[in-house]
Structure 1
Amino acid sequence: MRVRAVAEGVDERVYAHKLRFLTFDESWKLFEQRAFGNMQRVDEDLQKIGKEMVQKCGGLPLAIVVLAGLLSRMRKNEWHEMCTSLWRRLKDNSIHVSTSVFDLRFKEMRQELKLCFLYLSVFPEDYEINVKDLIRLLVAEGFIQKDEEMTMEDLARYYIEELIDRSLVKAEKIERRKVMSCRIHDLLRDVAIKKAKELNFVNVYNDQHSSTSCRREVSHHLINNRYLCDRRVNKGLRSLLFFGQGPGISGGYVETFTLKLKLLRVLNLGGLMFLFHGEFHFSLPAVIGELIHLRYLGVADTGLNNLPAFISNLRFLQTLDAGGKQSLDFERTTDLSKLTSLRHVIGKFVGELLIGDAGNLQTLRSISSYSWSKLKHESLKNLRDLEIYDQYSTWEHQKIFPLDLVSLSKLTNLRVLKLEVKIFNLLLSESEEAVRFQFLVELTLHCDIRKLPKDMDLIFPSLEMFRLQGSKLEEDPMLVLQKLPRLEDLVLEYCHQIWSAEEA
């Protein structure tokens, strides 16, 4: 906690520990690790300049790390310019060190990186940001330009990792050398919010109503449930984001949804519910069907159990995020066949899921084996992340459909695969040489498999992570798994051993 008075006010019996500033030796060691980490030999002149700037940071760790990250990417002559600029800004002792260092750093960023950093101000304080969610938002906002060599999602990840390299963002969770979640330091978040307001980039609300011409508005808490219908409407609004805590009153609710924002591109209603005539309504308000420019629709943890037919009006929709830990299954038929711009579809689609031209689709989680059998698999050439399961529909009878890996072999860009099905053919015969998953790095199987294929290393040559759940294994799986050349993570969960020690 940064404010000592607040910490002491929580409980007078609690001692509030005051963190000290670093000594110069500690500061220099921290700076060296970050600024000179990739250098074989450190120039004496650079050391001298570095020590001069470290002295000006006054022992503040955040300022030292941010400054070092900036300098690590600069040439020798640029170090001199940075030192001069920093000294000029710090002549007045009233100027905060970290703010001054950040201003220098922000100025030298290219435009795409500035937009990505400022966008982090939309997330609540100390919020663990899922990198995949962030990537999808950045793409939908239009911050990421198309590139011939990289997908927009890969380019967005590159920018996020660059922010991490610059020590502006902290990598929170890393799996197999890949950042899965990140967090922004609260001091840097404060600076980002300040800069975003100066540039009229985003406006963050709490419990107060106000009007603004800003194109992005964010609410972290809905204290007044008339927020959406009482305040003045900014007709030019492009993004509207809510961060609730899950369905119900604690996450927030609205009595009506009357905003008609024809230019809206991003709408995240995470954790909200809709109240009509005093009762909760478990469906989307019809006005959302009029948002024809929408690229991103987030309805996770909103209590929905179906998606209305007007979803087909959103012809430019790229991301439909209906996931979430407390989200319900969609048991009726969901028709997305007219949405040809879809890149990411997330939710539990128990009923039939209709998908049309899916050439842009990269994420599909999760779909029933029955719905999967009806898709044109050859059109899913860009699919990277896939989850398939057997469903038990209460709305209509659908039989469990057998699934084999041959139907998945056409997905040449597949990276992550999760199968939660009872009937599928994993035991490929030796003659089926054509079935290969050259790029698959993560495989999760939740089913009763008795034996793993002996040529699994040939089927999945790039596999890095394998998770098997709920199987009764007749043979020691390690005899097969030890052959996988790139396997790093292995999880055998609720798997039972039914072979004897002599047989093993």
Structure 2
Amino acid sequence: MAAAYAALVSLTHTLDQILSPPPHHHFINFDRDQINFLREKADFLIDYFLENHSNTGGDHKEIEDLETRIRVAAEGAESVETSTSNNLLSEGVRTAIQQFHSIEEELVKIKKYVQAKISITTEAASSSRPLLPIGENTMVGFDDHLIQIMGALSTDESNLRVISIVGMGGIGKTTLATHVYNKPFIVQHFHVCVWFTVSQEYTEKEILLGLLRQINNTNRDEQKTGDDDDDYDDDDDQLGNKLHKTLFGRKYLIVMDDIWDIKVWEMINRFLPDNNNGSRIMVTTRLLRLAMDIGSCSPYQLNLLDEEQSWDLLSQKIYAEKRCPVELEEIGRSIAKKCRGLPLALIVIAGVLAKSKTENWKYVEEDVTSAVRNQGDDFCMKILSLSYNHLPIYLKPCFLYFAAFPEDFDIQVSRLIRLWVAEGFIRKCEHKSLEEIGEEYLKNLIERNLILVDKLELTGEVKTCHIHDLLSDLCRIEAQKDNFILTGKLYNHLDTLPNTETRPTRLSINGGKWKGMKRTPYRPPTRSFLSFSSRDSTDYTARRFPLLRVLDVVEKCPKDEILQLMNSRYVSCTGSISMSSSILSRLWSLQTLVVVDRELVLPSEIWQMPQLRHVEGDSIILPDPPPPDDVHKIILLENLQTLSTVEDFKCTEAVMKRIPNLKKLEIICGTIGSNRLSNLGLLHKLEQLSMLCCPCGGEIVFPNSLKELRLHGCKIPWEEMSVIGSLPNLQVLVLFKNAAIGQKWIPNEGEFARLKYLWIHQCELEIWEADNTHFPCLEILRLGYLNLKEIPSEFAEILPLQKIRVDYNRNNDLILASANEISEQRENLGYDGIQRGINLAVGGDGRIGDPYVVITIGNQVLCSY
């Protein structure tokens, strides 16, 4: 059902573009009435069949056949845009209309059956139930283990110890380890804290690189997500020696989550030094024998929850801090009991119940009862499948798309949603962008406990996410059943793929190397090709996949390959690209263009592409827009939201007016005059702005919509910082390397009213006079390479303040003294030590593992190195 729905929605996007093509794209003649009629047929099937009957489960042969016919017809109709002949286009549209008409007749015949199978657990239009904060994992029943493991990690025993957590899939091993890992006491106890998830398909190089990258990140709470391939050419022993050298002499904690094979431990253990300083390794695994073989002490075995614990977990996930209504407690306890004490099953069912009308809980109970009765030991997968069956149809393609990503892969949310948009999963809605709707879809999946949050942006939005391995298995099973996507988990040889019209149109290389690419024949149905195989050439070619809409690869994409991707909506690749006007004019459907590592040179025709949504590169050369004339009329790029990173950006009024809805802008090495910086205020939707090496003398205007501002080398005098402090929505401010100049900063009252994160680095600042009215919402303060003499003592009264991080400064002793004073003041004010304590890290260059001192309220030094 998901594949059919996705094909129909994607078709509507394509037909809309045919009906309203870009001005420079001269489409062949076509019958507009026929296209409109086909569009109406597609909308009918979406509205009256798929959406209204999305939870039938596809368990009836007639319905399954109908879904296949819908999908094949929609995908066939969508290919008409590639036609270069008016006759072929007209014939293709007529054929599609006939197919849809036949489907409608069949729909009428089975309508009564379909209506009888409509799920009665449809999502309530609104719900007053409070949900747990995004990213918060509830833990029930493991408090004793938590205390014992924290004790084992922090004991005075100096030799290197390995602590193992063992239990079946879904029982909560990772949740328990996460709670331990994130405890402030544990964070403060070690120089280096690293978390690494080991997939079932691994290489020694991937594990070593992963560990090194995390250790070398500058801040444990702000880990970078991009790959750093500087060490990729090293062999395994070289990488292992680097790991050993990096950890040598430091007190470290390494968490290796979800180990399946003793070989993983054997290959990594030889590079982990025993520094005789209390370093620890924590391992989670499903295999007791493996845990006993590698552990220094008896494994912590997690047992299934009892009935009361099961009900506690279920009710907490549904109602958060509120109590379950008395009239629902009996049936709720019955459902909890049937989940057999498995936390993952309870959490997923809680997601179903939280989105269901309360009068329909009895039907959920019947589904759970059936799952337990019929599946025996495989009850967990059957219960998890209930969560998929109860999803609204518009969420099913989005959920199945997680099958495209490798196991245990941290997925960038921005990338994920752009892919959803390019795949055509998201229907248009007035007053909202497709990306905003996609964010709502993801939030819905998170609230249903199907997707887990990894990291949050400083502004609170979800930055990266992933899927539990058992739910990932479910995702792949359902994707295979629905012919939604083929991954390396299913096929290892491309030349063995079925070449039929019912074959999945999406291919993903995410499980090792695919073979047979060179022998792969012409395969017209393929619309999406994703590769996560770093440094392993896939030898893909657009000639084999001429209808590609999505190309997301880590390899270089030759220019002649892009030239043939006439239907592409999404292209992400590596390497320098210089696009001529002839290339760009062919890419009339292009929405997202991402080029990593090299230069991206764009022609002036970029300003004639209103369908563009995101353009990203390490260095983009963007030409001036052409002047309007009879041939080139002024076109507003109203869909463009991201432009990053542009060399010598021309901040003219003409440019600003052409990109009215831009949300993210990054520019470097500009030669912007003072009269042009005021034009930034014309970008009324801009939320993120980064300016590198742009002297900003004279008048400057920032739009009030800004949430994040990063400046480098802009040389704004401190006395003129009100232009930033007055921004009403600003939450993140980074001032780097002479972004601000002068020795004294006295903010004005009421400024920086919503600022949560402030980082000042390598700026001329010695005296800072401020109080709690200037930064009332500040949560994190980071200072580095300054001549600052003290932190304003009034900061003790900033209630939300959680952390002060100090990198190397000339006056570290003075800053340390002011931090002690702030700690004492906060204690006197009665602030909770855990929630309102201040962490001060003082070190060489601020990297993890450098010597530092951690201070909490009351001058209590928890650790000193």
Tell me the TM-score normalized by structure 1: 0.84
Alpha-carbon distance in 2 for matches of 1:462, 1:6: 47
Deviations 1:356-413 (A, max 9, x none): 732221100011234444962112111111111116xxxxxxxx34364312111111
- 1:78-477, aligned counterparts within 5 Å? 78-94=360-376, 96-175=378-457, 176-205=459-488, 207-209=492-494, 210-212=496-498, 213-220=503-510, 223=513, 227-245=516-534, 251-255=535-539, 257=541, 259-269=543-553, 271-273=554-556, 284-299=558-573, 302-304=574-576, 306-307=578-579, 310-323=583-596, 327-330=597-600, 336-353=606-623, 357=635, 358-373=637-652, 376-390=655-669, 400-402=671-673, 404-425=676-697, 428=700, 435=701, 437-452=703-718, 453-456=720-723, 459-471=726-738, 473-477=741-745
SS at match of 2:464: strand
Alpha-carbon distance in 1 for matches of 2:566, 2:602: 23
SS at match of 2:373: coil
Q: 1:73 to 1:258 in 2, by over 3 A?
A: closer
Deviations 1:270-312 (A, max 9, x none): x224xxxxxxxxx61513312211100011xx23354455243
SS at match of 2:395: helix
Q: Residue type matched to 1:402 in 2?
A: G
Is 1:61 the counterpart of 2:343? The answer is yes
Alpha-carbon distance in 2 for matches of 1:291, 1:103: 37
Q: Residue type matched to 1:339 in 2?
A: M
| Higher deviation after alignment, 313-322 or 22-31 | 22-31
Alpha-carbon distance in 1 for matches of 2:690, 2:565: 33
Q: Residue type matched to 1:406 in 2?
A: S
Q: 1:66 to 1:256 in 2, by over 3 A?
A: closer
Give aligned pairs, total. 467
SS at match of 1:182: strand
1:29 maps to: 312
Is 1:490 the counterpart of 2:490? The answer is no
Alpha-carbon distance in 1 for matches of 2:760, 2:721: 18
- Bigger helix share: 2
2:261 maps to: 7
1:353/1:367 contact within 8 Å kept? no
Q: 1:448 to 1:371 in 2, by over 3 A?
A: closer
Q: Residue type matched to 1:390 in 2?
A: C
Q: Residue type matched to 1:231 in 2?
A: T
1:397 maps to: none
Unmatched 5+ residue regions in structure 1? Answer: 246-250, 274-282, 392-399, 429-434
SS at match of 2:643: strand
Q: Residue type matched to 1:387 in 2?
A: E
Shift of 1:78: 1.0
Alpha-carbon distance in 2 for matches of 1:458, 1:483: 5
Alpha-carbon distance in 1 for matches of 2:689, 2:465: 24
Deviations 1:9-49 (A, max 9, x none): 5447414765432333332222121012264x522232221
SS at match of 2:387: helix
2:598/2:619 contact within 8 Å kept? no
Q: Give % identity.
A: 26
Q: 1:496 to 1:29 in 2, by over 3 A?
A: farther
| Higher deviation after alignment, 339-348 or 467-476 | 467-476
RMSD: 2.9
2:731/2:757 contact within 8 Å kept? yes
Alpha-carbon distance in 1 for matches of 2:598, 2:533: 16
SS at match of 1:496: coil
2:254 maps to: none
Alpha-carbon distance in 2 for matches of 1:286, 1:354: 25
Shift of 1:138: 0.5
Shift of 1:493: 2.0
Q: Residue type matched to 1:361 in 2?
A: L
Alpha-carbon distance in 2 for matches of 1:354, 1:109: 47
Q: Residue type matched to 1:14 in 2?
A: I
1:463/1:486 contact within 8 Å kept? yes
Alpha-carbon distance in 2 for matches of 1:5, 1:333: 50
Tell me the TM-score normalized by structure 2: 0.50
Alpha-carbon distance in 1 for matches of 2:334, 2:395: 28
Q: Residue type matched to 2:468 in 1?
A: H
Q: Residue type matched to 2:666 in 1?
A: E
2:413/2:463 contact within 8 Å kept? yes
Q: 1:370 to 1:199 in 2, by over 3 A?
A: closer
Q: 1:450 to 1:78 in 2, by over 3 A?
A: same
1:432 maps to: none
Q: Residue type matched to 2:761 in 1?
A: E
Q: Residue type matched to 2:730 in 1?
A: L
SS at match of 1:74: coil
2:702/2:723 contact within 8 Å kept? no
Larger Rg, first or second structure (1 or 2): 2
Alpha-carbon distance in 2 for matches of 1:221, 1:375: 48
Alpha-carbon distance in 2 for matches of 1:46, 1:78: 11
1:456/1:484 contact within 8 Å kept? no
1:305/1:330 contact within 8 Å kept? yes
Shift of 1:337: 3.5
Alpha-carbon distance in 2 for matches of 1:154, 1:258: 31
Unmatched 5+ residue regions in structure 2? Answer: 1-165, 170-199, 201-257, 267-289, 627-634, 768-787, 793-865
Q: Which has the higher contact order (CA 8 A, sep 6+)?
A: 2
Alpha-carbon distance in 2 for matches of 1:198, 1:149: 36
Q: 1:125 to 1:454 in 2, by over 3 A?
A: closer
Shift of 1:256: 6.4
Q: 1:354 to 1:456 in 2, by over 3 A?
A: closer
Q: 1:195 to 1:478 in 2, by over 3 A?
A: farther
1:218/1:241 contact within 8 Å kept? yes
